[in-house]
Amino acid sequence: MKRFDIALIGLGAATMSLAVRLVLRGYPGSIAIIEPREQPCDDRTWCGWRLAEHPFSAHATRTWSTWAVSDGGQSVIRGSTRTPYEMLRASTVQRQALDAIATRPDWALYAGRSLISADMDDTRWMLQLDDGGSIIADRVLDSRPPALTLTRPWVWQSFVGRELVGPDLPDDSPVRLMDFLDDPTPLLTFVYELPIAPGRRLIELTRFAPQRPSLSALGARLDGLLADRGLADHTIAREESSHLPMTPVPPYNQDGWMRVGTAGGSMRPATGYAFHGIQRWADDCADALMAGRSPVAPARRRGMDWLDGVFLESLWRHRPAGTAGTPFVQLFERTPAESMVRFLMSRPQLADIYKILRALPPAPMLRAALAHSRQAMD
pLDDT one-digit tens code per residue, 161-173: 999 999 888 888 8
What secondary structure does DSSP assign to 251-268, as a single string?
P-EETTEEE-GGGGT-S-
Lowest mean pLDDT among 9-13, 303-307, 339-343: 303-307
Q: Decide if 348 contacts 356 (C-beta within 8 A).
A: yes
- The pLDDT value recorded for residue 320 is 52
From 298, 309, 308, select the one nearest 265 (Cα to Cα): 298
Indicate the pairing of strand 2-9 with strand 134-142.
parallel
pLDDT one-digit tens code per residue, 61-117: 999 999 999 988 889 999 998 999 999 999 999 999 999 999 999 999 999 999 999
pLDDT at 18 over 90: yes
Q: What sign does the CA torsion over 291, 295, 298, 301 have? A: negative
Q: Decide if 325 contacts 71 (C-beta within 8 A).
A: yes
Percent of the chain with pLDDT over 70: 97
Give the separation between CA 114 and CA 117, rounded to whole angstroms.
9
pLDDT one-digit tens code per residue, 222-232: 999 999 999 99
pLDDT interval class at 15 (50, 70, 90): very high
- The pLDDT value recorded for residue 249 is 87
Computed on alpha carbons and rounded to an integer, the radius of gyration of the chain in Å comes to 21
User: Cα dist. 302→95, 239, 308, 339 in Å?
Assistant: 35, 35, 10, 19
| Residue 81 one-letter amino acid | T
pLDDT at 237 over 60: yes
Give the separation between CA 194 and CA 62, rounded to whole angstroms.
10
User: Cα dist. 316→6, 46, 170, 310 in Å?
Assistant: 43, 28, 37, 10
Q: Decide if 140 contacts 257 (C-beta within 8 A).
A: yes
- The pLDDT value recorded for residue 145 is 84
Q: Decide if 5 contacts 29 (C-beta within 8 A).
A: yes
User: Average pLDDT of 193-207?
Assistant: 95
Provide φ and ψ at 91, rounded to 5°.
-65, -35
In the chain, beta strands by DSSP E: 2-9, 31-35, 45-49, 62-64, 66-71, 74-79, 85-89, 108-111, 115-121, 124-129, 134-142, 155-165, 175-180, 188-197, 200-209, 235-246, 253-254, 257-259
Where residue 125 falls (left for φ over 0; alpha for ψ -120 to 50; beta otherwise) is: beta
Give the helix/strand (H/E) hosting 32: strand 31-35
The residues, ordered by sequence, that sit 6+ positions from 99 with a Cβ below 8 Å of its Cβ are none
| Residue 76 one-letter amino acid | V
The residues, ordered by sequence, that sit 6+ positions from 164 with a Cβ below 8 Å of its Cβ are 200, 201, 202, 203, 226, 231, 234, 235, 236, 237
pLDDT one-digit tens code per residue, 40-66: 788 899 999 999 999 999 999 999 999
User: Average pLDDT of 8-13?
Assistant: 94
- The pLDDT value recorded for residue 288 is 97
pLDDT at 185 over 80: no
Instruction: List the domains of the chain with CATH numbers.
Output: 2-43+89-146+247-290 (3.50.50.60), 155-246 (3.30.9.10), 302-377 (no CATH)
pLDDT interval class at 143 (50, 70, 90): very high
- The pLDDT value recorded for residue 324 is 58
Indicate the pairing of strand 2-9 with strand 31-35.
parallel
pLDDT at 325 over 70: no
**This prediction's pTM:** 0.93
pLDDT at 28 over 90: yes
Angle at 338 between CA 87 and CA 187, to 5 degrees: 65
| Residue 157 one-letter amino acid | Q
- The pLDDT value recorded for residue 323 is 55
Give the separation between CA 200 and CA 1, rounded to whole angstroms.
48
